[in-house]
Structure 1
Amino acid sequence: MPNATPNPPAGTDADITEGTANVFADLGFADADALRTKTRLAAVLNECIKRRKLKQIEVAARLGIPQPRVSALVNYRLDGFSVERLLEFLTAFDQDVEIMIRPRPDQAGVGKITVREIV
């Protein structure tokens, strides 16, 4: 569980709690790992779109989805997108996706999913 900061900023009465690496878990979402993964994949995808300076209609044509779905994607409304679909979108933007499975080093608890972008 995150720890309360011993010295909150002056002028505040609120306790400040240090979060984890997953804001969705901090907020109590049951599917926090999936949300974090989808958000990270969408961030990489949105960076690809931004670098190419594409309009949403151009992105829609490339991905084979309607423009309103592109709008949802670039605004991180990801409830209608699976992780698999986001991975397919990344390959449509000339990104290689590699999935690596390995034993957890500390052998404790549940494994985790991590998305890393290599620039």
Structure 2
Amino acid sequence: MSKGKAKIEFEESSGNVFADLGFEDAEELQARGMLGFHVVQILKARNLKQREIADLLGIKQAEVSHLMNGHFSRFSMDKLVDFLKCLDHKITIEISPHQQGEPYHQVAFG
């Protein structure tokens, strides 16, 4: 190490920032975040105004602002799934035995 340069400490992520930060419900928060992220990506691609988004999703314009700013904790997973249905996206739920080391909640997009 050269003089004057501090060693940077880092820790490899588990892939779930909520788990890395010690949240008890980390897997649900991660799944909700992924659902919310994709809702926002779809809305941005449609280039809609907040009023149009509110009408489309059946929510108040203030809630649209929270959604578009990534405040997904304000919405349940069910509500985010409803948004995807409003956006004409299919949702598939797969149930399978849990394997050690894998998350209980996973969200995959095709």
What TM-score, normalized to structure 1?
0.82
Q: State the SS of the aligned residue for 2:45.
A: helix
Relative to structure 1, the CA distance from residue 79 to residue 17 in structure 2 (aligned partners, 3 Å threshold; closer, same or farther) is: same
More helix by share: 2
Q: Give me the whole-angstrom Cα distance separating, in 2, the residues matched to 1:53 and 1:110.
A: 36
Structure 1 residue 22: deviation in Å?
0.2
What TM-score, normalized to structure 2?
0.88
Structure 2: 5+ residue runs without aligned partners?
none
Identity of aligned residues (%): 36
Q: How many residues align?
A: 108
Q: Cα RMSD (Å) of the superposition?
A: 1.9
Relative to structure 1, the CA distance from residue 116 to residue 109 in structure 2 (aligned partners, 3 Å threshold; closer, same or farther) is: closer
User: 12, 20, 23: which is aligned to 1:26?
Assistant: 20
Specify the alignment match of 1:113 in structure 2: 105
User: 80, 85, 88: which is aligned to 1:91?
Assistant: 85
Structure 1 residue 13: deviation in Å?
3.5
Structure 1 residue 34: deviation in Å?
1.2
Structure 1 residue 12: deviation in Å?
2.9
Q: Give me the whole-angstrom Cα distance separating, in 2, the residues matched to 1:20 and 1:67.
A: 35
Q: Give me the whole-angstrom Cα distance separating, in 2, the residues matched to 1:71 and 1:81.
A: 12
Structure 1: 5+ residue runs without aligned partners?
1-6
